[in-house]
Amino acid sequence: MDVRIYYEDTDAGGVVYHANYIKYFERARTEYFRSHGFFVAELASNGFVFPVVKLVIDFKAPALHDDLLSVTTIPVRVGGSSITLCQKVIRQCDGKLLVDGLVTLACISPALKARRIPLEIRQMLEADMESVL
């Protein structure tokens, strides 16, 4: 997913405010699932919600006003009721890795009870993991 950095994304020094990377990760995860035919609102209406339960971020270099970034999402682990995704933010003009993250999502019901990940989602994630190897 591409992200253009606008003035509103930055702090007074023109550097992307750190919390905005979490928003970019969220958007990229949503688009990742959408690109595979899974829609967050539809999953929720069917009783499958995927909140973030763990987030580890390594900030390597700053993004600046007007940069064009790519945010990638790659599954790295699929458990019975959790998914871990590797997400990266890369500046397009020079290919520099700016932010590296690992995000773990739980699969729960709207009543906040753990659920098994639906088979179709599990198969899609496992296929994507295999294609990266």
- Tell me the catalytic residues: 11
How far, in Å, CA of 72 to CA of 89, rounded? 7
- Per DSSP, the residues of 15-31 read BBPTTHHHHHHHHHHHH
| Residue 25 to residues 75, 82, 97, Cα–Cα distance (Å) | 13, 17, 14
Beta bridge partners of 97: 90
Consecutive H or E run containing 86: strand 82-91
Q: Which two tokens stand for residue 5?
A: 């950095």
Pair 3, 26: CB distance under 8 Å: no
